[in-house]
Structure 1
Amino acid sequence: MSSTIPFLDLNLYPDPSFSPATSTLHTPKIEPKLEPIDEPPPPPPPPPSGANSQPDLKPSIPSASTPFPTSSSEPDMCSEFHRISDLFRSAFAQGVQRHDQVSILPESDPNYGAIVPVAKNEAQLPAVVISPRGTRKYPQRSSELVRVTDLKADDHRYFRDLIRRTRMLYDSLRIFSTSEDDKHRDLLVPQKKTRGDLKAAALMRDAGLWLNRDKRILGDIPGIAIGDVFFFRMELVVVGLHGHPQAGIDYVPASQSSNREPIATSIIVSGGYEDDEDGGDVIIYTGHGGQDKHNRQAMHQKLESGNLAMERSMYYGLEVRVIRGFKYEGGASGKVYVYDGLYRITDTWFDVGKSGFGVYKFKLVRIENQVEMGSSLMKFARNLRVRPLEVRPKGYITLDLSRKKENVPVFFFNDIDEDYGPVYHEYLITTIFPSYVFNYGNGMGCECVGGCWDNCFCAQKNGGEFAYDSNGILVRGKPLIFECGPHCRCPPSCRNRVTQKGTKNRFEVFRSRETQWGVRSLDLIQAGSFICEYAGVVLTREQAQIFTMNGDSLIYPSRFGDRWTEWGDLSQIFSDYVCPSYPPIPPLDFAMDVSRMRNVACYMSQSSIPNVMVQPVLYDHNNVSFPHLMLFATENIPPMKEISLDYGVAAADEWMGKLALCS
């Protein structure tokens, strides 16, 4: 605005006695608060030299020519900051009503601080514009600020499923891109490894599948829950939770704002700035700018771009989304990002940082009455894994329901009542089939002594390619997966023996008021990862009729449905994509008894929007009518989140119904 006075650049005028009236003001340089780029962890064998090289995207900032002023000049700088802030407030208050697009409510209004968009007729821009030179140009994100409120239960389910499917597509694309890159990699020639996360985001952008681009949402994003975990920064961009792939502050820039003032919408707290202080509910967040390419503070920060957006959001009482990023072993990228809810900026000041340069600091306080932070739950689960009885002195019935049959213990927790039923069931680690099932087939196997490679016998059984990538992640769902079996010469570590290696995540069976029983993991489970087998005793048609006459409850695999078709479905990206139909499998014409013998999967609750799917797998026999029912994650499952499965609706098979007893 014309009535505002430019903020003094302390790097140009280090001496407070220096008068800008005698010199020409320079345009301040915009330096976004950059965060480290997500890099996937290196595979066990060291990659070829230069294979994972990544260009440095941080701007190189020269060091200040003069040191930061001494403490005696500090009050002058702070007073200058407050003076400019007051000028911004007065000028903004006088001029904002001249703009039709935005109105600020008075403090007496219960919705004070809300930015109310005014409807306007605006032609929709195409998703992608091709320039005469053939380069792609994408339209800018909308500058219209909105809140999404008063969602009904059906709305929540709709948006949650939309986010789930978008994230599933992103993960499927990322895994597919990486696996395709591995197939065509020449081990003798060093090559740069494909960034699957970047490629997946680019393909979805080209297809117009990025979410929440037409509006800038203040507050929660519909369909994203507090505690949701992301492995890559680009995934945050794809779903619209944080719109910048590297900047720590997401905001509407002044050039796009109708009132020419920036507004912050979200921040990422990842410890990238040495002056950050994270106390959970209270955060002291350092502004952006002034760092060199080694993430060291080398210049004074300025009240501009993201810093100014944070100050403006503080003044108008606007909430910001907070995403925490931290290192996590075993993750797809070695780092995770957790959405921790909404905060308000309550204070800001200019201070001397640890490196001796001036930095802007912002105090953020978490808004009350929100569910527990996802980052707190992850820390709680980490402590629970190693010191369960110290963290929870009461409620544990046993610390290993499997009685050492699983690779890792299965906790059993009940602090609601005295129902200890799971303790009295025999624990199964794999399904029990009728003996005649193993007499089917020729018993041939692969000859891969050191481990399976493409085009081996087992790969041909799967249609010419393996179902898993080099990290054991399911690339796409299939009607049936043939894993290497007892007749194969490959070792137990073979990439095609994923489900035979058993569970690797620590689970907890717990008593639930909502679903009676439930299962949650104490580990973070990556989308596409194997979870466990749904184990029970297989019954033939005749046996099932007898059991149902006695009133026993049975599990019918045919009712699980074909959720596997969703994982790896790339039809929205590739027009020639065809859902896998090989290897074929007949309808599952058997039942499973889990009344006396079962495993952890049998305690998973029903959900119409599950985070786990059933994938048929064969390895110990070749009878395609009796596959193992293996469970795979269809999304990133945070620690302490309940694992759910879609058991399907009642089947039309009359033989599965309960027979009438004759007198």
Structure 2
Amino acid sequence: MGSLIPFQDLNLYPEPPASATNAAAAATPAGARIVPKTEPKVEPFDELSQFLAQPHPQQHYFSSPSPTFSFSSQPGLPSVLDPVVEDSVYSEFNRISELFRTAFGERTGGGDSADSNSLAIVPVQEESQVTVTRRRYQPRSSELVRVMDLGQDDDRHFRALVRRTRMLFDSLRIYADERRRDLGLGMRARGDLKASSVMRDRGLWLNRDKRIVGAIPGVYVGDLFFFRMELCVVGLHGQAQAGIDYLPASKSSNGEPVATSVIVSGGYEDDEDVGEVIIYTGQGGQDKNGRQCVHQKLEGGNLALERSMAYGIELRVIRGFKYEGSASGKVYVYDGLYKVTDSYFDVGKSGFGVYKFKLVRIENQPEMGSTVLKFAESLRTRAMSVGPTSYISLDISMKKESVPVLFYNDVDNNHDPMYFDYIATAVFPPYVYREGQSNGCNCVSGCIDDCPCAAKNGGEFAYDQNGLLVRGKPLIIECGINCGCPPTCRNRVTQKGMRHRFEVFRSRETGWGLRSLNLIQAGAFICEFAGVALTREQAQIFSMNGDSLVYPSRFADRWAVWGDLSPIFTDYVRPTYPSIPPLGFAMDVSKMRNVACYISHSSSPNVLAQFVLHDHNNLQFPHLMLFAMETIPPLRDLSLDYGVGTERDGKLRICN
């Protein structure tokens, strides 16, 4: 059972020593003029200031549905965040708050607490003492709480909520980028900014009614994010530009700011990052080129960090750095909780006074995501020389895939993944291809939205220009051999094969599994689920022999939630065209298969199955293609909902 642990009122603490302030005064040269300059610690490579300074009218290109959508009033649609199910998207914290009130009442021998501030680390000011500014969206609360002792059910609840919210953000961002291209807009209309703005206006940002100190429920150490605004959407870091997120003194009842999270990305020349220990430079005093030009002052985020040290309040640390292949050019990694153990005023490399804070990582946390990311990068280039010596094979596909498939086992001597015939694509009965291919398009450089192949898909392509899945469909028809478009066409995504380097690995807990050495972006193609297709009659015979069979018809319809914009468009309906008849074939993976057969089963998967046709027209035998449902960090176990079984016995027989 989870609970919100109250923190002592900051007013009960003694006045802090003035050593830091005195040090600042002592370090200031006599007669020197300090130019007042308080500004957020802006992160490099983030071009948000121009966007944030612009007015955002309610009417933008999200205000009207895409003409390729089929909209109608239809009750009972599957929703990513259905407001009918819960009173609001923030009710989970109301539930935890009520849970704390009950626990607090039990400790004090009473019932519900009459003091609404009993949940706050820093009590909220009375409404009569503050001026309320009405906005279109819910402002952040000034009530600080810490969520503790979450049970398994609560953990699953919050994790599912965060994953659904991130899925909506990714779907909306990809859709926004496509609309931007259709309307001929420039970089000013970046999809991530538009997606976050729309979700904010509709109250879909998380953790707005409580400002959480410590870990965010549902966000795990090692989670990766491509965009700064996604950090704001899930409540991990509430500042779009500033590197220090804190409760301002103006919103604190005792007039002192408190820091809750920081982003470390090397934006200041005096930063030092060695992983477990960080020397973090305070904010302010930089010119437009990122060089220190004046002395920093103990105010704003700097004072908030110093106050967090005095009160022993932990900080969430997110690392940001350049990453090749990222949608934004950067990647942000949540690396867990740190404590501020020291603060001092020092002369920086540019000769100006800067505040420095020593951050030390709290023990007994999962391994840092940034460490895993760098380790995976080294494995991709030099697997045998820098990595463990337990690589049994550097390519079990025998060059049948466009990238090598590694085989890793440091548990036992089981080498079973090497003892089968590797196939990169499914094998269908010969008569499936007798129907041939229908007439294709005549596109030369690449398909456009008005080509015949787009009409086959309901008037729109399922992929964007980067090959990401825009919206799941019952069936996707890709360009085939009769089409004039080149192999680089946007409508040939799954035909290009795997793009990420995978490894089959052995686990003591779950048996065989599959993970990637690359960071997989949400909506990206992973691979085909390959085996030998059997008719219903053949499947009955083979099952009697104990062969491992997979039934595509039993896979959960996870494609329906990818691209589901019903929380944004109330009249949204899921695509129903192209449609396919009920599937009766099975996939035999006992002797011929590929890496997909080693993906673990999960009721909360990070991979979805999508039916695709490209080399024949037989609707009864579509290809089973796999796509990422979320951003998947390197070395994280891939999971798929097979539609049957439990977490314990849901894996294929060959994978146990």
Q: Which category describes the TM-score, using the shorter chain as reference length?
A: 0.7 to 0.9
| Equivalent runs, 1:267-346 vs 2, <5 Å | 267-346=262-341
Question: 1:30 maps to which residue?
Answer: 38
Mapped to 1, the partners of 2:309 and 2:124 lie a distance apart of: 27
Choose from 376, 379, 393 the match for 1:381.
376
Q: Report the residue type matching 1:589 in the other structure.
A: G
Mapped to 2, the partners of 1:519 and 1:612 lie a distance apart of: 12
Distance 1:450 1:148, change over 3 A: same
Mapped to 1, the partners of 2:151 and 2:270 lie a distance apart of: 41
The answer on whether the counterparts of 2:379 and 2:517 sit within 8 Å (CA) in structure 1 is yes
Mapped to 2, the partners of 1:458 and 1:11 lie a distance apart of: 71
Q: Is 1:177 aligned to residue 171 of structure 2?
A: no
Mapped to 2, the partners of 1:426 and 1:559 lie a distance apart of: 25
Q: Is 1:646 aligned to residue 654 of structure 2?
A: no
Mapped to 1, the partners of 2:437 and 2:119 lie a distance apart of: 70
The answer on whether the counterparts of 2:468 and 2:525 sit within 8 Å (CA) in structure 1 is yes
Q: CA deviation at 1:56?
A: 9.5
Q: Report the residue type matching 1:475 in the other structure.
A: V
Mapped to 1, the partners of 2:287 and 2:502 lie a distance apart of: 44
The answer on whether the counterparts of 2:27 and 2:345 sit within 8 Å (CA) in structure 1 is no
The answer on whether the counterparts of 2:123 and 2:143 sit within 8 Å (CA) in structure 1 is no
The answer on whether the counterparts of 1:606 and 1:647 sit within 8 Å (CA) in structure 2 is yes
Question: 2:219 maps to which residue?
Answer: 224
Mapped to 2, the partners of 1:294 and 1:580 lie a distance apart of: 48
Distance 1:592 1:324, change over 3 A: same
Mapped to 2, the partners of 1:645 and 1:129 lie a distance apart of: 46
| Equivalent runs, 1:450-469 vs 2, <5 Å | 450-469=445-464
Distance 1:121 1:542, change over 3 A: farther
Choose from 608, 611, 614 the match for 2:606.
611
Deviations 1:490-516 (A, max 9, x none): 111111100000001000000112221
Question: 2:155 maps to which residue?
Answer: 156
The answer on whether the counterparts of 1:11 and 1:299 sit within 8 Å (CA) in structure 2 is no
Q: Is 1:500 aligned to residue 499 of structure 2?
A: no
Q: CA deviation at 1:16?
A: 3.7
Q: Report the residue type matching 2:525 in the other structure.
A: F
Mapped to 2, the partners of 1:118 and 1:270 lie a distance apart of: 29
Distance 1:477 1:122, change over 3 A: farther
Choose from 419, 422, 428 the match for 1:427.
422
| Equivalent runs, 1:506-521 vs 2, <5 Å | 506-521=501-516
Residue aligned with 2:197, SS: helix
Deviations 1:70-117 (A, max 9, x none): xxxxxxxxxxxxxxxxxxxxxxxxxxxxxxxxxxxxxxxxxxxx9954
Mapped to 2, the partners of 1:462 and 1:316 lie a distance apart of: 59
Q: Report the residue type matching 2:619 in the other structure.
A: V
Mapped to 1, the partners of 2:645 and 2:51 lie a distance apart of: 55
Mapped to 2, the partners of 1:416 and 1:403 lie a distance apart of: 24
Q: Report the residue type matching 1:140 in the other structure.
A: P
Deviations 1:405-452 (A, max 9, x none): 101100001111111111011001000011111122653111112211
Q: Is 1:348 aligned to residue 347 of structure 2?
A: no
The answer on whether the counterparts of 1:429 and 1:535 sit within 8 Å (CA) in structure 2 is yes
Choose from 537, 545, 549 the match for 1:554.
549
Q: CA deviation at 1:391?
A: 2.5
Q: Report the residue type matching 1:30 in the other structure.
A: T
Question: 1:265 maps to which residue?
Answer: 260
Question: 1:405 maps to which residue?
Answer: 400
Q: Give the superposed CA RMSD.
A: 2.9
Distance 1:8 1:459, change over 3 A: same
Distance 1:201 1:12, change over 3 A: farther
Residue aligned with 1:154, SS: helix
Question: 1:529 maps to which residue?
Answer: 524
Mapped to 2, the partners of 1:450 and 1:202 lie a distance apart of: 35
Q: Report the residue type matching 2:44 in the other structure.
A: P
Residue aligned with 2:251, SS: coil
Distance 1:449 1:222, change over 3 A: same
Residue aligned with 1:592, SS: strand
| Equivalent runs, 1:97-116 vs 2, <5 Å | none
For structure 1, the 5+ residue unaligned runs are 21-25, 41-52, 59-113, 131-135, 652-663
Question: 1:628 maps to which residue?
Answer: 623
Choose from 212, 234, 242 the match for 1:247.
242
Residue aligned with 1:161, SS: helix
Q: CA deviation at 1:403?
A: 0.5
Distance 1:121 1:346, change over 3 A: closer
Mapped to 2, the partners of 1:248 and 1:448 lie a distance apart of: 47
Distance 1:158 1:620, change over 3 A: same
Q: CA deviation at 1:14?
A: 5.3
The answer on whether the counterparts of 2:469 and 2:524 sit within 8 Å (CA) in structure 1 is yes
Distance 1:15 1:422, change over 3 A: closer
Q: CA deviation at 1:184?
A: 2.7
Mapped to 2, the partners of 1:369 and 1:477 lie a distance apart of: 40
For structure 2, the 5+ residue unaligned runs are 1-10, 55-117, 647-656
The answer on whether the counterparts of 1:230 and 1:337 sit within 8 Å (CA) in structure 2 is yes
The answer on whether the counterparts of 1:181 and 1:193 sit within 8 Å (CA) in structure 2 is no
Question: 2:94 maps to which residue?
Answer: none
Q: Report the residue type matching 1:523 in the other structure.
A: N
Question: 2:142 maps to which residue?
Answer: 143
Mapped to 2, the partners of 1:205 and 1:56 lie a distance apart of: 13
The answer on whether the counterparts of 1:411 and 1:507 sit within 8 Å (CA) in structure 2 is yes
Q: Report the residue type matching 2:42 in the other structure.
A: L
The answer on whether the counterparts of 1:39 and 1:334 sit within 8 Å (CA) in structure 2 is no
Mapped to 2, the partners of 1:604 and 1:360 lie a distance apart of: 49
Question: 1:417 maps to which residue?
Answer: 412
Mapped to 2, the partners of 1:358 and 1:604 lie a distance apart of: 54
Mapped to 2, the partners of 1:616 and 1:538 lie a distance apart of: 14
Mapped to 2, the partners of 1:585 and 1:355 lie a distance apart of: 66
Residue aligned with 1:255, SS: helix
Distance 1:179 1:129, change over 3 A: farther
Deviations 1:190-225 (A, max 9, x none): 845521111000111111110011111111101000
Q: Report the residue type matching 2:638 in the other structure.
A: I
Mapped to 2, the partners of 1:439 and 1:403 lie a distance apart of: 30
TM-score by length of 2: 0.82
Residue aligned with 1:148, SS: strand
Q: CA deviation at 1:392?
A: 3.1
Q: Report the residue type matching 2:624 in the other structure.
A: L
Deviations 1:434-473 (A, max 9, x none): 1111122653111112211111011111111111111111
Distance 1:137 1:452, change over 3 A: closer
Deviations 1:296-349 (A, max 9, x none): 111110000100010011111111000000000001101000000000011010
The number of residue pairs the alignment matches comes to: 566
Mapped to 1, the partners of 2:125 and 2:358 lie a distance apart of: 38
Distance 1:348 1:179, change over 3 A: same
Q: Report the residue type matching 2:149 in the other structure.
A: D
Residue aligned with 2:196, SS: helix
The answer on whether the counterparts of 2:28 and 2:353 sit within 8 Å (CA) in structure 1 is no
Question: 2:589 maps to which residue?
Answer: 594
Q: CA deviation at 1:584?
A: 1.0
